[in-house]
Structures are given as structure tokens and as C-alpha cells.
Amino acid sequence: MLTRRLEPEVMDTVEDAHDYNSMDHSTVNRVFVDDLLTFCRGTRELSDRSLTSSTTGAMTLSLLKVLDVGTGTALIPIELCRREVACRITAIDLAAEMLKLADINIARAGLANCIHGEQVDAKQMPYGVDTFDVVISNSIVHHIPEPSAVFAEMRRVLRSNGVLFIRDLLRPQSLAEIDHLVTTYAGQENAHSQQLFRDSLHAALSLVEVGELAAACGISANAVQQTSDRHWTLACRM
């Protein structure tokens, strides 16, 4: 197993934000939302809020308060709202340049009434205990040198019976595997974007490390699974 090599916690240059936003995340984001909704349906109900069929036959989450931790340019909240999911999403990130593009993306999608971006440090959130019905996060954990504070905060702001759904990169076993993943999934991107992906893979956690973080928050390590050749997922109802 490669030793974890940290990358900058905040991607807050104009180049970082624009290159991240221009990369093709559509498949990853679609699968994230697919898996989130599938997991939520499997929990039967979220307290008094349940998954119900709309008049179009689509499954809808009724009036949920959702927190997206490390939203980047808000592509996942936009994808979620496009699924006829009735929710209010608070989309947080510490990078001001990311949030500038997030605001543009949200406005272009016509979703300013559903998604609100805020500049917030995920290690010290300003929200009260039991604030959100669903807390989601995609690819923020590997940016944090000591992710335990982020796990604890996500657990703190999630209400009883709420859903916690976190997905992030899985640290490869070797440099050769990193090279393979970069070529496979970022081979068509520019050199800077490829380097961002390479650095993120090297900064990612192992399944054992994620399991230990989960256990420290009272979450079973069984909630953590490898879900692709480059991702782990933590999915649980608290």
C-alpha cells in the first residue's frame, strides 16, 4: 500500500476551480445520485418523511433538508434536484473560487431556489445538532489532513434516523495503479487536470482508515464498502 501523500486542503485558485469544473464528472455524479436514492429507498422511511411516488411515477424525497459537504462547483446538488427530488440543499465548500462557479452553475440550471451555496469549513460547521435529514459528500475527505473532525461534524449535524452518504477516492496499492487510473479516467483531460487527479488518488484513504474513522463516530465499519475500482462509499442510516 502506498503511503498517503497529502495535497492542499483547499483548491482555491482560479485555475483549480475552472479545470475541476471543466472535467467530465457527469457519469460519476449520475452514479452518485443513483446510488444515494437507491440507498434512501432501502431505508423504508426517514422519520415522517418517506419516499413516495409522484404523479409521473418518479420516486421523490419529500421536503428533505440536505447538506452537501465539499460541494465544489455544485454539480451533484444540481444532478439531485434534476431527479424531481423535493429538497432544499445547503452546498458548502471552503474554496471561494469553487463557490463562484457553483453560483454560476446553479443559476444556469435555474435552481437558485433549491440550492444555496455557503463558504464553510467542514471541520467547524455553523449548524446546530440534528439540522439535516441527509448529509452527503463526494471527494472531500481526501483533501483533509485529519478527516476525523469532518466525520464528527457530519454526524453531529445529521438528525436521528437521517442518512449519511459519503463517497471518496480509494488510495491505490501502487504508483502503477495510479498511472492506470489517471490514463483511464483523465486521459483526455489537460495536464493540470490529470495532475489534480493523480494527487487526489495519492492523498486518498484506504478502506481500513475509513473504517476506523467511521467507528470513532459510532458507525459500523460494515457501512464502508469499496464501490468501484477507485472509490469507497460509506452509506448508513443513523
Q: What's the N-to-C CA distance of the chain in angstroms? A: 31
Q: What is the tens place of the pLDDT at every residue in 129-151?
A: 999 999 999 999 999 999 999 99
Segment 58-79 mean pLDDT: 83
Complete edge-to-edge strand list for the sheet that includes strand 45-46:
45-46, 49-53, 59-61
Q: Which residue type, as a one-letter code, is found at position 233?
A: T
Q: What is the tens place of the pLDDT at every residue in 142-183?
A: 999 999 999 999 999 999 989 999 999 999 999 999 999 999
Residue of higher predicted confidence among 23 and 3? 3
pLDDT of residue 37: 93
How far is the CA of 61 from the CAs of 73, 144, 176, 219, 225, in angstroms? 23, 30, 42, 24, 24
Segment 104-113 mean pLDDT: 96
**CB-CB neighbours of 90 under 10 Å:** 22
CA 152, CA 137: separation in Å to the nearest integer? 13
CA 181, CA 89: separation in Å to the nearest integer? 31
**CB-CB neighbours of 15 under 10 Å:** 12
Residue of higher predicted confidence among 44 and 221? 221
Average pLDDT, the chain: 89
Each domain of the chain, given as residue ranges in start order, spans 14-237
| pLDDT grade for 85, boundaries at 50, 70 and 90 | confident
Segment 112-139 mean pLDDT: 96
Helix intervals (H) in 7-166: 14-22, 26-42, 75-81, 96-108, 148-157
DSSP-derived secondary structure for 148-187: HHHHHHHHHHEEEEEEEEEEEEB--SSHHHHHHHHHHHHT
Closest CA to 40 of 74, 86, 82: 86
The DSSP element (H or E) to which 191 belongs, if any, is helix 191-203
Q: What is the tens place of the pLDDT at every residue in 7-63?
A: 888 877 888 888 787 877 889 999 999 999 999 886 543 433 444 434 444 444 456
**Do 70 and 137 touch, CB atoms closer than 8 A?**
yes
**Do 13 and 22 touch, CB atoms closer than 8 A?**
no
CATH architecture of the domain with range 14-237: 3-Layer(aba) Sandwich (3.40)
Q: Which residue type, as a one-letter code, is found at position 153?
A: E
pTM assigned to the model:
0.89
Which residues have C-beta within 8 Å of that of residue 174, sequence separation ≥ 6? 2
